[in-house]
């Protein structure tokens, strides 16, 4: 179907390659705050892991006999982690032909794989730019306590083991933008 300008409105081709920005780091580092600013500055779609998947994850955890606030158990990591990330990438793939996308999540395992950005670029068909948000452990702990989210209680109640899981929090092993998430502090 052609309009008066001669363009076929059903077969519009956009040759611009959009960018998928991955904002990653530990819980409480300031990822969501930074990602909202990044998405606003780029007029991008924002896909925050919590917003996109939280309701469904809570239902599935309860239905499988687990706490709706579990995010750290072996059960959660084995059964939910990969599908959650795959869902984020599926939604990004749907949006990238039209605009930039900012995805927010920890991506703790992925940042240790030097091939991850190039693999994502092939899979998503877009440019990839990773932004790693980092701040001191004490700041993260204060933020987790301040936000009062039930899913953070296990982390706060067993802080030493939680910190061991994330290790030294080395930045990604590939080119990335390092973001100091120390500011702004919650009041």
DSSP state of 27: T
Pair 70, 77: CB distance under 8 Å: no
pLDDT over threshold 90, residue 8 = no
pLDDT over threshold 60, residue 2 = no
> What's this model's pTM, rounded to 2 decimal places?
0.84
Which residues lie across from 178 on neighbouring strands? Answer: 132
Class (C level, CATH) for 19-180: alpha beta
Preceding amide of 4 cis, omega within 30: no
Q: Higher model confidence: residue 131 or residue 184?
A: 131
pLDDT over threshold 80, residue 168 = no
Give the model's pLDDT for residue 78. 92
Mean pLDDT over the full length of the chain: 87
Q: Where are the domains of the chain?
A: 19-180
DSSP state of 11: S
pLDDT tens by residue, 44-83: 999 999 899 989 998 999 999 998 888 878 898 899 999 9
pLDDT over threshold 90, residue 17 = no
- Radius of gyration from C-alpha coordinates of the chain: 18
Beta-carbon contacts of 151 under 8 Å, excluding residues fewer than 6 positions away, are 69, 70, 71
State the helix-helix crossing angle for 81-95 and 49-63, rounded to 10 degrees: 140
Give the model's pLDDT for residue 186. 47
Give the model's pLDDT for residue 65. 93
């Amino acid at each position: 179907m052609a309009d008066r300008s001669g363009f076929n409105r059903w077969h519009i081709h956009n040759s611009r390659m959009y960018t998928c920005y991955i904002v990653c780091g530990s819980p409480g580092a300031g990822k969501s705050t930074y990602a909202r600013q990044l998405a606003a500055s780029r007029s991008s779609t924002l896909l925050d892991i919590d917003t996109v998947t939280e309701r469904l994850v809570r239902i599935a955890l309860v239905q499988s006999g687990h706490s709706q606030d579990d995010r750290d158990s072996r059960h959660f990591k084995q059964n939910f982690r990969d599908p959650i990330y795959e869902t984020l990438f599926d939604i990004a793939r749907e949006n990238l032909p039209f605009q930039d996308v900012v995805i927010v999540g920890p991506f703790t395992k992925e940042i240790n794989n030097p091939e991850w950005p190039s693999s994502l670029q092939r899979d998503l068909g877009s440019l990839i730019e990773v932004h790693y948000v980092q701040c001191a452990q004490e700041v993260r702990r204060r933020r987790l306590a301040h936000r009062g989210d039930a899913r953070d209680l296990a982390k706060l109640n067993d802080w030493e083991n939680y910190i061991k899981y994330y290790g030294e929090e080395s930045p990604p092993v590939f080119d990335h933008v390092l973001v100091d998430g120390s500011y702004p502090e919650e009041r």
